[in-house]
Structure 1
Amino acid sequence: MELRERGGNVSQTGVNPILMTIPESFESVRLIIRAPLYGDGTAVNEAVIESLEELRPWMPWAKDAPTIEESEISIRKSRLEFLARTDLRLLLFHKETGQLVGSSGLHRMDWQARSFEIGYWARTSYAGQGYITEAVEAITSFAVQVLEANRIEIHCDARNQRSAKVAERSGFTLEGVMRSHKCANDGSLRDTMIFSKVRGAEF
C-alpha cells in the first residue's frame, strides 16, 4: 500500500479525532482509494444502478434505485462525516480507467479503543476479480499504520458467502455468528457473521 501523505500524530491518548490529520487518498496495486468529494454522486449512482440486483439482498440502502440527487446527498453527508471523523467512507477507483469499482470504508468507530469496522460492496462489472479483497487489505493496512487500530471487524449476512470469502482471504478470523441478529431486506431474520483482526494476533 502506498500512502500519498502521512497522517499526523494519532497516538496521543485521548486526542480528539477532529484534530487528527488523516490522509484522504492512498493506493493499492490497482486502485485509488479516497474519501468522497462533492460531485461523486453521479459516479456512485451509475455503479449502484448497474449493481442493484446484486446489492439488494445484502444492503439495506439498496431496496430501491436512487436518483442522482439522492446519491449526491449521500456523498455530501459522507464528506462531512469524514471531516468530522465520525465515519470514514472510502470510494474505490480503478487506476487505469478512472471508473468507480465499489465502495468501502471504516465505520462504527471507537476512537478510544481504536476499533473499526470495514464495510464494502463491488460494482457488478468489477465483481469476482479480487478488487474488494485488494481494497480490504489496503484499508486494513491504512487503519493499522495510520490510525493505529487495535481491532478491525467485518460483519456480513451469514448467507452472503462472497462477502465472507473476502474476510477469509484477507486473513480475518471468524469470531462467531450472531443468530437472528437483523432483518434482511426481504423481511426475514438473518444471522450475522463477525470476523476480526486484533493487534498482537493477526497484526
Structure 2
Amino acid sequence: MKKQITYGIRTQRLLIRCYHPSDAPMLLEAITHSLDELKKWMPWAQNEPSSLKSKQELLEKFEQEFLENIDYTFGIFNTQEDVLIGSTGLHTRIGADAREIGYWINSKYAKQGYATESTQALIKVGFEHHAINKIEIHCDPENMASLKIPKKLGFDLVEVLQHNTTSPEGEPRDTMIWRMTLEQYQKIQHTFPDVEVFY
C-alpha cells in the first residue's frame, strides 16, 4: 500500500484537518471553556490557559510537523470551519509503522459522538493511507469517556502500565494501552463510514 498523508478528512458532520495558525483564537476559546475537564487528564492542560500568541506558535509547530511528515495533529471542526469541536492526532511516537490516536473534545460539544466519529475517520485514514500495521489508544482507566471509544471500535486491551504517570495532584496513575492491528481492521473495515480525504 502506497503511503499517502491526508491533509484533511470530511465525515458526515465534521472536517478534520491540519491546523493553521489562524485557528489559534478558536483553539484558545475551546481550551479555556473545557479547562476543568482537560486538567483532569491532560498534562499539558496544567499550564493553560495560555496566551493567543503561544497558541499561534503551537499551531505553527503543528503545521510544520505535519507538512514535514513528522507528526500529524488535526483540529476537529464543524463543516463550516467556524467552530473548533476538539483536537485529535495520528501521532508517530510509538514507532514508524504505527500511530497513536489521541483526542479531546470541547466541553460544549461533549457526549454527541464527535470523538467516536473523528476516531473512526483517523483509523480508516491511518490504515488505508499511512500504510501502518497498528494503531493504539492510550488512556487512564479512570477516564470513562475516553476508554469507551477503543472498546466500541474494536480495539484490544493489550497492557496496563502500572503507576507510569501521575495525576495533577501528584498521585500515581495507570495507563491502558488499547491496540488494533491492520489485520483486525481489514476484518471490520466494512463497518466504518466512508470519508472524503484531501491531500
Aligned partner of 1:85: which letter? N
Pairs within 5 Å for 1:80-95: 80-95=64-79
Structure 1 outlier segments of 4+, above 2 Å: none
Is the aligned partner of 1:67 residue 2:54? Answer: no
CA deviations over 1:52-72 (Å, ceiling 9, x no partner): 001001001111311111111
TM-score of the pair, normalised by structure 2: 0.87
8 Å Cα contact 2:2-2:131 kept in structure 1: no
In structure 2, what is the equivalent of residue 34 of structure 1? 17
Which of 154, 163, 171 is 1:180 aligned to?
163
Alignment: residue pair count: 184
Secondary structure at the counterpart of residue 22 of structure 2: coil
In structure 1, what is the equivalent of residue 95 of structure 2? 110
**Aligned mates of 1:183, 1:84 — CA distance in 2:** 32
Identify the structure with bigger relative contact order (alpha carbons < 8 Å, sequence gap 6+). Answer: 2
Aligned-residue offset at 1:110 = 2.2
**Aligned mates of 1:161, 1:54 — CA distance in 2:** 12
Which of 2, 12, 23 is 1:9 aligned to?
2
TM-score of the pair, normalised by structure 1: 0.86
CA deviations over 1:132-157 (Å, ceiling 9, x no partner): 00000000000011112210000011
In structure 1, what is the equivalent of residue 180 of structure 2? 197
Aligned-residue offset at 1:97 = 6.6
Percent same amino acid among aligned pairs? 34
Task: Please say which of residues 32-41 and 50-59 is displaced more in the overlay.
Answer: 32-41
Determine which structure has the larger helix proportion and give its number. 2
Structure 2 unaligned spans of 5+: 187-199
